Amino acid sequence: MRILETVSELQQLADAERAAGRRIALVPTMGALHPGHLSLVKEARERADRVWVSIFVNPTQFDDPKDLSAYPRALDADLEACELAGVDVVFRPDAGEMYPSDSQTTVEVGGLCEPLCGLARPGHFRGVTTIVSKLLLAAKPHVAVFGEKDYQQLAVIRRMVRDLGFDVEVVGAATLREADGLAMSSRNANLDPEARRQAVALVRALDAAEAAVIAGETDRDELLALTRAELARAPLACIDYAELCDPDSLAPAPGSLESPALLALAVFFDPGDPDAGSRVRLIDNRVLPVRHNSEDTSS
């Protein structure tokens, strides 16, 4: 496994691999790797001859300096995990490499960035799209793999790639979950034991909404009330947002659902122990299988 730290090194290697007819897959990460990341590596391996992983905690996508400083970092463990997973190249630049001191250019997508995390975290997606653009230009991959847990991020990146004509296939990989259903996330490591126990409220809320839809509930407000009530069962939880949206446009879902709708959640968990540190923000989502009435059948 090779470890590269500069854009020029990575570009030169990409040119050589492409000239040799080998396909490159890139898995962009911010490190603190867990089995969910490694599932992305596995997906990448099935689609390419070479698998590259980037490890870079991107400062421009954090709206809170405390959140940036608290983001877990475990480089030695990350490198070991990548080697065991058969990663061919790890790209681990520093901030100065990705953002030279005289940088003046950013990349920004419009409407898809405005709701949900875009509304809750102004400037977040500008940071995401700027760094992903830089990574795609550096690695020149044929395929880039992202997790579906970050549903809005995946949608935004796909839009950016389409709109700007990047020559890369963007692949979304299914969310990997812990045994109790909690979506795997690097941020889970920052939960104290009590907050970790209560964090399963997210998946319970998704399960409850899906069960209600399957039972025939299509009223948006009723479904959101059910979702919020389930989250309220976790005393340490503070809802950032719980929204029902169109899965493609991310526009608000209508009052009466007639087609599949995205239920998107973002929840802060305050530490059960006041000395344990700052609160942790978790996200999760599910596309609810709403069917139009015309699809109903009777016996």
Q: What is the mean pLDDT of residues 123-135?
A: 98
Which of 173, 202, 230 is the C-terminal boundary of a domain? 173
* CA–CA dist 36, 11 (Å, integer): 27
202 and 162: one domain?
no
DSSP3 helix / strand / coil % (the chain, rounded to 5): 40, 20, 40
Whether 29 is in a domain gets the answer yes
- The pLDDT value recorded for residue 272 is 63
pLDDT of 1-11, one tens digit each? 999 999 999 99
Whole-number average pLDDT of the chain: 95
162 and 191: one domain?
no
Say if residue 295's pLDDT is above 60: no
218 and 159: one domain?
no
Which of 119, 149, 173 is the C-terminal boundary of a domain? 173
Say if residue 171's pLDDT is above 90: yes
Whether 42 is in a domain gets the answer yes
Q: Which residues contact 219 (CB under 8 A, 6 or more apart)?
A: 255, 256, 257
254 and 138: one domain?
no
Whether 82 is in a domain gets the answer yes
Q: Which residues contact 267 (CB under 8 A, 6 or more apart)?
A: 199, 201, 202, 231, 237, 238, 239, 240, 281, 282, 283
161 and 40: one domain?
yes
Which of 173, 201, 221 is the C-terminal boundary of a domain? 173
* CA–CA dist 210, 216 (Å, integer): 10
More confident site: 280 or 275: 280
* CA–CA dist 90, 108 (Å, integer): 26
pTM: 0.94
What amino acid occupies position 126?
A: R
- The pLDDT value recorded for residue 278 is 80
- Number of neighbours of residue 293 by Cβ within 10 angstroms: 8
- 280-288 and 143-147 beta bridge pairing: unpaired
- The pLDDT value recorded for residue 299 is 39
Whether the Cβ atoms of residue 132 and residue 3 lie closer than 8 Å to each other: no
140 and 84: one domain?
yes
Whether 199 is in a domain gets the answer yes
> Of the candidates 265, 270, 263, 268, which has an alpha carbon nearest to the alpha carbon of residue 283?
265
Say if residue 274's pLDDT is above 70: no
More confident site: 270 or 97: 97
Q: Which two tokens stand for residue 4?
A: 């590269």
231 and 146: one domain?
no
Catalytic residue among 37, 124, 142, 292: 37
Say if residue 62's pLDDT is above 80: yes
Say if residue 78's pLDDT is above 70: yes
Say if residue 298's pLDDT is above 50: no
- The pLDDT value recorded for residue 271 is 78
What range does the domain containing 102 cover? 2-173
Confidence of residue 291 (pLDDT cuts 50, 70, 90): confident
| Percentage above 90 pLDDT, the chain | 93
- Let me know if 292 is a catalytic residue: no
134 and 16: one domain?
yes
* CA–CA dist 136, 142 (Å, integer): 9
List, in sequence order, every residue forming a beta bridge with 146; answer none if it has no partner: 172
Element (H, E) at 107: none
CA 145 and chain centroid, separation: 11
pLDDT of 141-170, one tens digit each? 999 999 999 999 999 999 999 999 999 999
Q: What is the mean pLDDT of residues 125-133?
A: 98
Say if residue 297's pLDDT is above 50: no
Q: Look up the CATH number of the domain holding residue 81.
A: 3.40.50.620
Whether 136 is in a domain gets the answer yes
- 24-29 and 2-4 beta bridge pairing: unpaired
160 and 218: one domain?
no
100 and 22: one domain?
yes
Number of domains the chain is built from = 2
| Percentage above 70 pLDDT, the chain | 95
- The pLDDT value recorded for residue 267 is 98
List, in sequence order, every residue forming a beta bridge with 183; answer none if it has no partner: 177
* CA–CA dist 281, 286 (Å, integer): 17
Say if residue 202's pLDDT is above 80: yes
pLDDT of 209-235, one tens digit each? 999 999 999 999 999 999 999 999 999
3-state SS string over 113-154?
HCCCHHHHCCCHHHHHHHHHHHHHHHHCCCEEEEECCCHHHH
